[in-house]
Structure 1
Amino acid sequence: MQKRSTFHGVAQEIRQNVQSGLWPPGKRIPTKSQLCTMFAASNMTVQKALTLLWSQGFTEAHGRNGTFITKRPPCRYRIALVFSVPTSNNQHAKALLTAAAKIKERDGYQFDLFESCYAWSPDATSGNMRRLEKEAAERRLAGAIFFGGEAPYAVSKLLHSHTLTTIFAAMYDTQYKYSGPAIPYENPMPALWDHIRASGRKKLAVFAIDAAMDWQTPALWQQAATAGITMREEWIHFFNPLKPRSVRNVTMLMASLPPELRPDSLYISDDHLVPETINALASCNLNIPQDLTVYAHTNFPLRHKDKVPLHSVGFNAATTLQRTIDTIRSPINNTYSLLPLVPFQIKKQYHDY
C-alpha cells in the first residue's frame, strides 16, 4: 500500500517543481483532485499544502480559473546580504548565513553574500561594493540587506539610485534617518538591567569593541545606578577585535582579583569578543555561574555544548531575514520607515568555542 503524503511533503514537491522550472511562473497547476492522485494525498492534505504555498508566495488562486504559480515565486528572488567587514570570524554574520541557508532550503530564496563592502568615499570603494552596484544596475537582484548601519556604504551610488530595494539592519536609533527602510534591533540595555537585577547581581563589568558602545556616557551610568548596579571604570574595557590575546589577558587578570574587588557579572557586548573570553574563563579558577554571571552578545541560532554556562543575548537571525524578505516582496511607500523591532532575547545555555 502506497504511503500517503503529508501536506509538508506535498508542498515541498510543488516547490521543487517550481525551483526546477518544471512549473514556471504563471503556470496553472493541476486541480486539487489531480494533485491528490499525483501525490497520493487526501483533499485536506492538498488544501493545507496549497494554503502553505500561498502564504510563502509560491501560488495564487484565481477563482474558478484555478491555482497558478505566482509571477515571481521566492526562488526567483535573489537577495544580497551585504557586510562591510569579512564574515569568516563574525558570529553575527555566521548566524545570519545559517538562517539564510535554512530559508533557502525551505522557501527557495536565493542569497548572495557580499562581504568587505564599503564606500566611505568615491576613492575608497571596495571591489565587492562595485560588483554589488553592477549586479543591481543589471537588475539581477530583488533587494539588498545592509548589516551594521549605513555609514560604511554612505556614498555608494546604490543607496541613492532607487533601482533596488535596500534595507538596513542596525541597532535602534530614533535620531537617525536611513536612506531606505530599516530593520531596527531593540536596545538591549533595559532588558539586561532587569535581568541582572533579578538575578541578584550588583557589580557589572563590560567588554566592548573600541568605543562602539559608549559605556562611559553619564546616561548609561545613571541607568546602571537606577537599577542598583555598580559599574567601575576599571571594569570597563575596550578591545581591538583583531588582537584577541588582549581579551584573554584582561579576563585572566579580572578573574584573579579578590572577591571584594571583582565584578559578579560580565557583559561581553560584541560577538567578536566572545570566543576568547569564554576560552579564558574556562581555564581560570572562577566557579561560573556562582562567582560570575556571564552575558554574551551573540545571535541565534547558537551551538549548545557544555564548556561554560552563560546567558546568550542577542537577536534572532531568522526573524531579521524574514522581515527584510517580507519588505522586499511588498515594498513600503515611506522610504524612511522603521520596520517592527527585532526583539532582544536572553537565553540561558552552555556555549563551547
Structure 2
Amino acid sequence: MYVGIIIDVSDLISTSRGADKYTSIANEIRRRIATGELSPGSQLPLRSELEESFQVSKVTLQRVMNLLIEDGFIDATRRKGSFVVARPPHLSRYALVFQGAPGGNQLWARFWMALANEAAFRERQDNVSIPVFYGIDGHTDTSDYQKLAVEVEEHRVAGVIYVAAHPRVPDLSLLRRTNVPGVTIQSGPNLGVPCVSLDYESFVVRALEFLFKQGRRRVAFVCPSHFAEIMGEFIQQQVAAFDLETRPYWIQGVGLEVPSAAKNCVHLLMHSAQAERPDALIITDDNLSEAATSGLLAAGVSVPRDVGVVAHANFPWKSPCVVDARRLGYDIRPLLGACLQSIDDQRSGEHARQIINMPAQFEDELPA
C-alpha cells in the first residue's frame, strides 16, 4: 500500500522561483523522504496520481522520476510501482570535507591522505558512500563548495564531516544554514557541532612509557612547530614524571611545509661530535617520520642499539620510516566510524557526544 502525498502546488512553485518545475518537484519528494514522510521501502502513489497532484505531464513526471532514480532515492524497477529504496542517500551518504586540497599552496597532510584512503576503502567494503570535497574554507564561489551545497540542500547526504586544518577554524556556515548533521575532526566543539579529537597527551605519555621500559634516559622530540609550542610544557612535565631527561633544545619544532628540515635537526642532535646525545627520539607527526629517521642514518647511529625511536603513524595507512622505529598513533578506521556514528545519532535524535577523544595506540595493539 502506498503513502499518499498531498502538495499545495502553488506553494511549491512560489518557493522555487528560477528552478525548473521538475527539479522543484524532485526536491519536494526528496525532502519528504528525508523527513520520514515517505519512509524507506514505502510505495509512492501511482504515476497518474502524481501527475494530477503536481499538475504536470507524463514527460515532466518522468524527468522527476529519472532524477530521483539517479540520486538513489527510489527504485522504479518493480512491476507494482515505484518505492523508496531501503537506504536512501540521507541515510547512507556522508560528505567528507577538507579545508585544504592536494596540490594546493598548503601542505597536504598525511593524516588527511589517510582519511581519504579510509573513506574510499569503506565505500568498497560497506554499504555507504563518502564523496570527498576539497578547499571548503569559507569561499562560496569554489566548484567544490557549490557541489557540496547542492548535495546538502537536496538531502543527498546524511551529514558532513569537516576536517579542520589547524589552527584554522572550519567553516560551518552551511551546517547552520541547513541544519544538516555534522561533525568536525581536529577542532574543538563549534556551537554544538560535535568533534572527534586526537588525544595528543596520550601519545606523549605512551611513547615515554615505552622508552622508559626500554631503559632509555635522554629523550629528544621532533614535532611540528605548533605542537612544540602547545605541548612543550606538558612534554617537559611528563619527561620529569618518568624520571627521564630532556633539554629545551632537544624539543625541535619543524614546519610541516619543509619536512626535510627534520633530517638536519636529527643529524645535529645525534652527531658524534655532540658532547651529550639523546638515546631516545620521539617523532610526533608522520609528515616528519621519513625525514627525521633519515637524519639518524646520516648521523651514523644504530637503531635500536644506540637510540630507541617512537614514530607517529596513522593506521593502517602508515608512512614509511627508514629505521626500525616503534610505530604509535591513531587508528583511522574507528575514527572515521565515530564520525559516521555521530551523524547517525544526530539524525535519529539520539544524544551525540560533543567530544570524542581517540587515544594513541601502538601498532601491535590494533585489531587484526
How far 1:217 sits from its partner (Å)? Answer: 4.6
Query: Which residue of 153, 160, 164 corresponds with 1:144?
Result: 160
Query: Are 1:183 and 2:196 an aligned pair?
Result: yes
Aligned-partner SS, 2:258: coil
Distance 1:76 1:271, change over 3 A: same
Shift of 1:283: 4.1
The question of 1:100 aligning with 2:119 is answered yes
1:297 aligns with 2:312: yes
> What are the superposed Cα offsets for residues 11-68 of structure 1, whole Å, 9 maximum, x if unpaired?
xxxxxxxxxxxxxx6289xxxxxxxxxxxxxxxxxxxxxxxxxxxxxxxxxxxxxxx9
- Name which of 58, 69, 78 aligns with 2:93: 78
Match of 1:170 among 163, 186, 189: 186
Cα distance 1:210–1:97, how it changes in 2: closer, same or farther (>3 A)?
A: same
Give CA deviations for 1:266-316 in whole Å, capped at 9, x if unaligned.
Answer: 111122212222333344411011211122222100459884111111111
Corresponding position of 2:132 = 113
Q: What corresponds to 2:358 in structure 1?
A: 342
The answer to whether the Cα contact below 8 Å between 1:178 and 1:336 also exists between their aligned partners in 2 is no
Q: Does 1:194 align with 2:203?
A: no
Q: Distance in 2 between matches of 1:286 and 1:150?
A: 34
Larger Rg: 2
In the TM superposition, what is the alpha-carbon distance from 1:76 to its structure 2 partner?
6.2
* Cα-Cα RMSD: 3.6
Q: Distance in 2 between matches of 1:177 and 1:152?
A: 12
Given candidates 239, 244, 267, the residue that maps to 1:252 is 267
CA distance in structure 2 between the partners assigned to 1:140 and 1:304 by the alignment: 34
Runs (5+) with no aligned partner, structure 1: 1-24, 29-67
Counterpart code for 2:114: A
Give, in angstroms, the shift of residue 102 of structure 1: 2.2
Specify the code of the residue in structure 2 equivalent to 1:117: I
Structure 1 residues 145, 267: CA separation in 2 closer, same or farther (over 3 Å shift)? same
In the alignment, which residue of structure 2 is the partner of 1:51?
none
Unaligned runs of 5+ in 2: 1-39, 44-82
TM-score by structure 1 length?
Answer: 0.67
Higher strand proportion (structure 1 or 2): 1
Residue of structure 1 in register with 2:63 after alignment = none
1:235 maps to: 250
User: Which amino acid counterpart does residue 102 of structure 1 have in structure 2?
Assistant: F
Q: Which amino acid aligns with 1:164?
A: V
**Residue 267 of structure 1 is aligned with which of 282, 285, 304?**
282
CA contact (8 A) 2:266 2:292 kept: yes
Q: Say if 1:215 and 1:221, in contact at 8 Å, map to a contact too.
A: no
On the 8 A contact 1:269/1:296 being kept in 2, the answer is yes
User: Per the alignment, in what secondary structure is the counterpart of residue 211 of structure 1?
Assistant: helix
Amino acid across the alignment from 2:133: F
Aligned length: 281
TM-score (normalised: structure 2)? 0.65
Residue 161 in structure 1 maps to residue 174 in structure 2: no
Structure 2 equivalent of residue 42 of structure 1: none
Distance in 1 (alpha carbons) for counterparts of 2:362 and 2:191: 28
Check conservation: 1:168, 1:178, Cα contact below 8 A: no
Identity among equivalent pairs (%):
22
> 1:312 aligned to 2:327?
yes
How far, CA to CA, are the matches of 1:306 and 1:150 in structure 2? 24
1:178 and 1:334 map into 2 onto residues whose CA distance is 18
2:213 and 2:122 mapped to 1: Cα distance? 36
Kindly provide the amino acid, as one letter, of the partner of residue 105 in structure 1: R
Inter-partner Cα distance in structure 1 for 2:141 and 2:277 = 45
Partners of 2:162 and 2:357 lie apart in 1 by 16
Structure 2 residue identity aligned to 1:166: G
CA distance in 2, matches of 1:178, 1:220: 30
Q: Kindly indicate whether the alpha-carbon contact (under 8 Å) linking 1:149 and 1:169 is maintained by their aligned counterparts in 2.
A: no
Equivalent pair of 2:153/2:178 in contact (CA under 8 Å): no
